Amino acid sequence: MRLKFLPSFVKRRGRITKKQAHSLQKLDKYSIKTLSEIISLSEDYNYCVLEIGFGNSEYLQREALENPSTLFIGSEVYLSGIGTLIGAIEENKMNNVRIFPEDARILLDQGDENIFDEVVILCPDPWPKDRHHKRRLLQSEFIEMLLKTLKWNGRLYISTDWEHYADEIKANLNHPSLKKRNSLKESRASTKFENRGIKEGRKVYIFDYIKTKLQSN
């Protein structure tokens, strides 16, 4: 399928370790290509989570190990991160993880069935230069696409350590089907990128929403 979206990433080759390269040989075993596959797999689980842009997969690994009855779908385009996750899946025998190794929008654009109980996006590329803002992932059009696959009362959890991007995300989440979660603050461990932002003096902004049905008049 030819990508019809403006890429929100730069597809660099990057350095791949021997261990990652070895793990990548098993990508077909753990990858999924369609929403239909996820629907079928999710029948054996109590909950289904999509993480978009899992990076080095530290968050996904931790959550998958702690929640074996939850199906985790990780979307990532960088081979180094994918190789790291496959290695962890094999080492820890995590049967509840599958990988979509392409732009997540290709997956989300396949249909409008309510599949995911939760979608997580942690520190997406902020594209800080003004001329690159159009490449940011969390545009209003993307939010609409994402909501089509999020279940009613499903959770949308986003973080960023860039203030101007946070302002844009907040504006784009001003959607009639979304409302902030009224819950006690959860102690989620920070990721590598969140910690780096804090170390460099930036605040981490958290957006924690649920999808609600529109109220009829």
Per-residue pLDDT tens over the stretch 95-123: 999 999 999 999 999 988 899 999 999 99
The predicted pLDDT at position 1 comes to 41
- Interstrand relation of 97-100 and 116-122 (parallel, antiparallel or unpaired): unpaired
Q: What is the pLDDT of residues 157-205, one digit of tens each?
A: 999 998 999 999 999 999 999 999 976 555 566 777 777 767 777 788 9
Cα separation values, 110 from 3, 34, 36, 78, 168, Å: 12, 7, 9, 22, 26
Q: Is residue 44 among the annotated active site residues?
A: no
Is the per-residue pLDDT at 2 higher than 50? no
What's the whole-number mean pLDDT along residues 127-153? 87
Of 112, 125, 161, 208, the catalytic one is: 125
Is the per-residue pLDDT at 9 higher than 80? no
The predicted pLDDT at position 52 comes to 97
Is the per-residue pLDDT at 133 higher than 50? yes
Give the model's confidence band at 217: pLDDT under 50 very low, under 70 low, under 90 confident, else very high: very low
Give the Cα separation of 85 and 194 in Å (integer): 19
Q: What is the pLDDT of residues 37-48, one digit of tens each?
A: 999 999 999 999
Structure tokens at 167: 């302002």
Correct CATH for 18-211 of 3.40.50.2300, 1.10.1740.10, 3.40.50.150, 3.30.1330.60: 3.40.50.150
3-state DSSP assignment of residue 178: strand
**What does residue 199 show for φ and ψ, rounded to 5 degrees?**
-60, -35
Task: For Cα atoms 50, 52, 54, give the angle at the middle one, nearest 5 degrees.
Answer: 105
Comparing 76-80, 109-113, 204-208, the range with the smallest average pLDDT is 109-113
The predicted pLDDT at position 131 comes to 75
- Spatial neighbors of 211 by CB under 8 A, at least 6 apart, are 147, 150, 151, 152, 153, 154, 156, 177, 178
Is the per-residue pLDDT at 62 higher than 80? yes
